[in-house]
Amino acid sequence: MSSSQPNHPVSASPCCTEEEVVELVNRFYALVRQDPELGPIFEQRIDDWDAHLSILVGFWSTLLRGTRRFNGAPMPKHMALPGLNPPLFHRWLALFGQITTELGNPALKSQADAHAKSMAERFWQRYRVQGYDILNPAFPPASSKREKSA
């Protein structure tokens, strides 16, 4: 297999297969979409679920298999979501942990859960100082916004 193939892992012994990553993402977001708290947040933002799941497979494949396929921007996208709070992050992590347990691969579970917890903590820390309320067009006042020079 050539290293130029997108699914080829960079790490010598990745914790899981690409098929397990696809299963993780599909099963997790199927659960999230049914969740009364988290589901509506996603349904309001995501028109094309196939495209979103494909981005997320690239994200988790990059983290767990070193495939370097993800080039998205999760931080600003989460900073722009209204109403994030610690219980929502805990719920997200609980559902994620449920699926990583069900997949039955302890190495995948330990790595995926650690990445998820660390990212959730980073999102929430940044959100508290720089999140939606600050990005919201009503705050700060329009006069203080940076204007493009003509």
Q: Which of 15, 16, 64, 84 binds ligand HEM (CB under 6 A)?
A: 84
CA–CA dist 116, 74 (Å, integer): 12
Q: Per CB under 6 A, does 77 bind ligand HEM?
A: yes
Would you say 12 or 101 has its CB closer to ligand HEM?
101
78 part of the interface to ligand HEM, by CB under 6 A: yes
Cα(115)–Cα(99) distance, integer angstroms: 14
Name the minimum Å distance from CB 144 to ligand HEM: 25
Tell me the per-residue interface mask from 85 to 124 with ligand HEM, x by CB under 6 A, - otherwise. Answer: ---xx--x----------------------xx--xx--x-
Cβ nearer to ligand HEM, comparing 102 with 121: 121
How many CB atoms are closer than 10 A to CB 74?
Answer: 14
Contacts with ligand HEM by CB under 6 A lie at 38, 41-42, 45-46, 55-56, 59, 72-74, 77-78, 81, 84, 88-89, 92, 115-116, 119-120, 123
